[in-house]
Structures are given as C-alpha cells and as structure tokens.
Amino acid sequence: MQNIIYVYLGIALLFIIISIAFKLEGERKSVFVSLGFAIIFVLFYFLLQLFEVKVQINSTIAFLIISFVVVIVLLIPSRNKNHIPAGKVTTQFDERDIMFSRNELIPETERFDEYYKRNPDKKPLDDKFREKPGLLSDKATKYHPFKFASAEANFMTVEAFVPYKKEHIHREKQEVNPKDLSNYIKKWLKQIGAVSVGITELKDYHLYSVKGRGEEYGKKIKNNHPFAIAFTVEMDKDMLDMAPNAETIMESSQQYLNAGNIAVQLAMFIRNLGYSALPHFDGNYQVICPVVARDAGLGEFGRMGLLMTPELGPRVRVGVVTTDIPLVIDEYKYEPSVIDFCTICKKCADNCPSRAIMFEPMQEIGGVVRWKINHEACFTYWNIVGTDCGKCIQVCPYAHPNNLLHNLVRSGIKNSYIFANVALKMDDIFYGRKPDNKHYLSPLS
Ligand code: SF4
Ligand code: SF4
C-alpha cells in the first residue's frame, strides 16, 4: 500500500516521455513546460515523504480519485449547447475578385480600368497593396535571394502543367466499377503523396463564374463534369514554423506544385480509361478547391477561412480533378466540433499581424453564417513581407503533427466540448498563446 505514492514518480516519468515527444517535434518551449510538470510531481513526491505514511497514502488516494473523476468528465461526450451551425455559401464567385487576380491588373490598361469601373469600392483598398514592394520582391522585408528564387522556381514549374489542361482522350472508354475505381483512386493518391481524398458531385457553386487569371480572363466558366475528386497534401511543419519568413512561400509553392502534379497524374489516368478529366492547379483553377474539398468530406471551414482537416488542420494544400468517369461520392457530414473549437480559440486572430481575422463569433454575411477574412488586409501584409505569411496556420492547434499524441487530443476535441476547452488551455501553456518563430529550426539555415 505504501508503494502507492510512487504514482507521482510514474506521472513525472509520463511527462518526461511527453517532453521527449516534444523534443522530437523541435518544440523547445513545450519540452521545458513538460519537464517543469515532471519536476513538480517529483518535488511533490519528496514533499510527502516529510509526512507520516497515513497522510501520504490518504492524500495519494484523494489525488487518484480526483484524477479519475477529471478523466471521466473529459471523456464523456459533450456538445456546446449554444452551438451555432456554420452556413454554406452556395452562390458562385467571380475569380476576377480574388486578390491574385486583382494583383495581376496592370495600371493604365483597359482591363485595369474596366475592373475598377465596375468595382470602385475596391480601388482604394488595392492601391494600398500596390504601394508595397510585392510578393517575392527583393524590396520585401523577408527577402532572401535564394529562398525567394526557390519559391519563384516552384511557381514557374507549375506552369509546365498547363498543356495537360487540354483534353486528350486517346483510348476507348472502358467499363469501370464505380466503387472499385473510387477505392483505387483513394489508395493510389495516398500512395503518391495525398493525405486525404474525397469525392463529391460537382455543383455550380464549386465553379468560379468567370475566369480571373490567365489567357481566359473574363470568360464564363463552363464545366459539365458530374464529379470532382478533391485531395489534400501536407505542408511541412518545420517550414511553416518559420512563418512569415521565406520558408512559408517556399513550402506553399512546393505544395502547389505537388498538388498540381498529383492532379495531372490523376487526370491522365482517367483519360487513359477513356473518360474526360480536368486537373485544377495553381493559377489554373475553374473550381474553388477548398469548397469542393469541404463537400467531399475532407474538413470544415474554420475561423481563418481555410479548410480545417481532421489530420492536419489548415496545414494542407488542396488539389481537385473534375471528371465524368463514374464514381461513388462521399457523404458530407457536418462536423460541429471544429466550429466550437474555433469559437473559443481565436489563436489565429491573436497572432495575425494584419488583424485580418475576426475575433467575433460567426456572423451572417451575405445571408450565410460564417467567419470572414479581410482579404485586402492579409494580402497587403503579404506584399510587405514578400511571402504568403502563414502565421495563422503555424499557430493553429489543429496544425500540430499527425502523430499519436496530437491525434488523441484531436479525438478528445471532437468528442467533448469540455475536453476542447481544457485542450485549448493546455495548448496555450505548452506552446504559448503567441508562439515564437523557430529560426534555430529552419531546415535551410
Ligand atoms: S487558430 Fe484556433 S480559431 Fe484559428 S482556425 Fe485554428 S482552431 Fe480555429
Ligand atoms: S496569412 Fe498572415 S496576414 Fe493573412 S490571415 Fe493569416 S496570419 Fe493574417
């Protein structure tokens, strides 16, 4: 019975093991915090030695009972009683309104004048980002000659995919079993680098109404494919941990390239079976990829406006292929725990250097309950630093590595609103409310 007080040393050992897990992740602050907890339990053990055995045993039993009750409370499924469901935007969006399209408008050209004649309210906002050095500019505050050149090389390489947009079905149509084919595509895409894959019916609101980039600028988008296959690829954690430095844009451009590569492979595969397929990749989208991915069951939209996936939160890029090959669609199932967690978390809003992310609860915007990003403020900041920032992705508690420790926390958040509140507090304690950059960790320094 006396040995019962060794329980404190056992818990201290558990925290040492957790600190090793954090060390492997390169999380210096978390290592110190875990070791701090381990030391507290060791000290508590020695403190109890000062008391008589009966006191030691009784206080340890009380500690174990309280711990047991806490664990049970955290494991019981619970929901936020005040949950407000997120709405779905089902109207089409004009690609000419996205920041990348507006960024490509050249002053004193017909296209520039025509756009701002139709959208005079956007002119003063866009003038602000045009005053700044610009994305990948050598005048930007995070300029690094090699790293910016690498990111630019990635974007230039994506251009090599453009010829694959052209439909070229060179084989006879084969009979396919939609179920077998859907399973095969999911397994194959994961094998070549996707983290998650989902299939949905292609809806009008998945498609931009009008092209806003490239040679087809201003043309109405037509796509009669009945299906869309969406997939995610992981953005490297160590690179994102350098946000908003050059590593972020290196990594996002790298994953645009990887997503584009997988999309082209998949489209070619489908064409080899005699069906029509279109790969969507950076600068050449007909669809709004995250909206397709949400409907394909790959995640929900969080406070920062990005797709929050169960595996990696927002630390992904999304690729899409639209097609007419017969497939089995995945049911979209609304996941309220993401919205509940984002409602209490606000870590991305706290850390956003441009204050582009709302602190308020979701609001009805254009008839749909959701969070809205101030895209102009965000993009203006990108044009100052020269990168795509990514600070919001870096600090998001859902963006931790896809490993046992974090997956247990993710399942706890999904299961219990009480657990979610505790997990958020623990995230702040272990990682900090405003986590630092990890310059010492850059894989490129
Ligand atoms: S940082 Fe927090 S509030 Fe922001 S998207 Fe992630 S979970 Fe939601
Ligand atoms: S990318 Fe940076 S500036 Fe833009 S919303 Fe995220 S944190 Fe804010």
Digit-coded pLDDT (tens) for 337-346: 999 999 999 9
- Does ligand 2 lie within 6 Å of residue 312's CB atom? no
Cα of 390 vs centre of ligand 2, distance in Å, is 6
CB-defined site of ligand 1, < 6 Å: 302-304, 341-342, 345-348, 395-398
Cα of 308 vs centre of ligand 1, distance in Å, is 9
Name the DSSP letter for residue 395: H
Phi-psi region of 61 (alpha: psi -120 to 50; beta: other; left: phi over 0): alpha
Helix pair angle (178-191, 246-272), 10° resolution: 150
- Does ligand 2 lie within 6 Å of residue 354's CB atom? yes
The distance of Cα 294 from the centroid of its chain, to the nearest Å, equals 12
Identify whether the C-beta of residue 96 lies closer than 8 Å to the C-beta of residue 217: yes
Cα of 196 vs centre of ligand 2, distance in Å, is 24
Cα of 243 vs centre of ligand 2, distance in Å, is 10
Classify each residue of 70-107 as buried b or exposed e, where b means 16 or more C-beta atoms within 10 Å of its C-beta: eeeebeeeeebeeeeebeeeeebbbbbbbbebbbebee
Distance separating alpha carbons of residues 164 and 167, to the nearest angstrom: 7
Joined together, the tokens standing for residue 235 give 């953005």
> Domain ranges in the chain?
2-75, 143-332
Identify whether the C-beta of residue 439 lies closer than 8 Å to the C-beta of residue 394: no
Cα of 252 vs centre of ligand 1, distance in Å, is 19
pLDDT at 25: 87
pLDDT at 166: 86
Among 226, 253, 259, CA closest to 239: 253
E strand or H helix at 277: strand 277-280
- If one residue of 396, 410, 428, 433 were mutated to test the ligand 1 pocket, choosing by the most ligand atoms within 8 A of its CB, it would be 396
- Digit-by-digit pLDDT tens for the chain (445 residues) are 567 778 999 999 999 999 999 998 888 899 999 999 999 999 999 998 899 988 988 999 999 999 999 999 999 999 999 999 999 889 999 999 999 999 999 999 999 999 999 999 999 999 999 999 999 999 999 999 999 999 999 999 999 999 999 887 778 899 999 999 999 999 999 999 999 999 999 999 999 999 999 889 999 999 999 999 999 999 999 999 999 999 999 999 999 999 999 999 999 999 999 999 999 999 999 999 999 999 999 999 999 999 999 999 999 999 999 999 999 999 899 999 999 999 999 999 999 999 999 999 999 888 899 999 999 999 999 999 999 999 999 999 999 998 999 999 999 999 999 999 999 999 999 999 998 776 556 777 7
Ligand 2 atom closest to Cα of residue 374: 5
**Greatest CA separation found in the chain?**
88
Phi, psi of 190 (to 5 degrees): -65, -35
Q: Is 63 exposed, middle or buried (0-12, 13-18, 19+ CB in 10 A)?
A: middle
3-state helix, strand, coil split of the chain in percent (to 5) is 55, 10, 35
How far, CA to CA in Å, does 104 sit from each of 30, 122, 163? 42, 14, 22
Ligand 2 atom closest to Cα of residue 390: 1
Distance separating alpha carbons of residues 216 and 218, to the nearest angstrom: 6
Q: Which ligand is nearest to the CA of 300?
A: 1
Half-sphere exposure of 210 (CA within 13 A, CB side): 10
Identify whether the C-beta of residue 281 lies closer than 8 Å to the C-beta of residue 264: yes
Ligand 1 atom closest to Cα of residue 303: 5
Joined together, the tokens standing for residue 107 give 């002053």
Instruction: Give the count of beta carbons closer than 10 Å to the beta carbon of residue 253.
Output: 24
Cα of 359 vs centre of ligand 2, distance in Å, is 13
Ligand 2 atom closest to Cα of residue 348: 7
Q: Was domain 143-332 assigned CATH 3.40.50?
A: no
Instruction: Name the closest-CA residue to atom 7, ligand 1.
Output: 342
pLDDT in tens, 72-122: 999 999 999 999 999 988 999 999 999 999 999 999 999 999 999 999 999
pLDDT at 440: 59
Q: What is the CA radius of gyration of the chain?
A: 25
- Does ligand 2 lie within 6 Å of residue 305's CB atom? no
Ligand 2 atom closest to Cα of residue 388: 1
Name the DSSP letter for residue 288: -
| Amino acid code (one letter) for 164 | Y
Q: Is 409 helix (H, G, I), strand (E, B) or coil?
A: helix
Q: Which ligand is nearest to the CA of 427?
A: 1
Distance separating alpha carbons of residues 440 and 245, to the nearest angstrom: 13
Q: Is 59 helix (H, G, I), strand (E, B) or coil?
A: helix
Q: Is 287 helix (H, G, I), strand (E, B) or coil?
A: strand
Cα of 380 vs centre of ligand 2, distance in Å, is 10
In sequence order, what DSSP letters do the residues of 320-366 get, joined into one string? EEEE-S--PPPPP---HHHHHHHHHH-HHHHH-TT--B--SPPEEET
Instruction: Give the count of beta carbons closer than 10 Å to the beta carbon of residue 66.
Output: 10
Phi-psi region of 193 (alpha: psi -120 to 50; beta: other; left: phi over 0): left
Cα of 101 vs centre of ligand 1, distance in Å, is 27
Name the DSSP letter for residue 437: P
The distance of Cα 376 from the centroid of its chain, to the nearest Å, equals 20
Instruction: Name the closest-CA residue to atom 8, ligand 2.
Output: 352
List residues bridging with 234 in a β-sheet. Answer: 316
- If one residue of 315, 339, 346 were mutated to test the ligand 1 pocket, choosing by the most ligand atoms within 8 A of its CB, it would be 346
Cα of 235 vs centre of ligand 2, distance in Å, is 16
Cα of 356 vs centre of ligand 2, distance in Å, is 6
pLDDT at 2: 61
pLDDT at 439: 57
Distance separating alpha carbons of residues 186 and 232, to the nearest angstrom: 11
List residues bridging with 277 in a β-sheet. Answer: 323
The CA angle 346-348-353, to the nearest 5 degrees, is: 125
- Does ligand 2 lie within 6 Å of residue 391's CB atom? yes
Distance separating alpha carbons of residues 36 and 429, to the nearest angstrom: 11
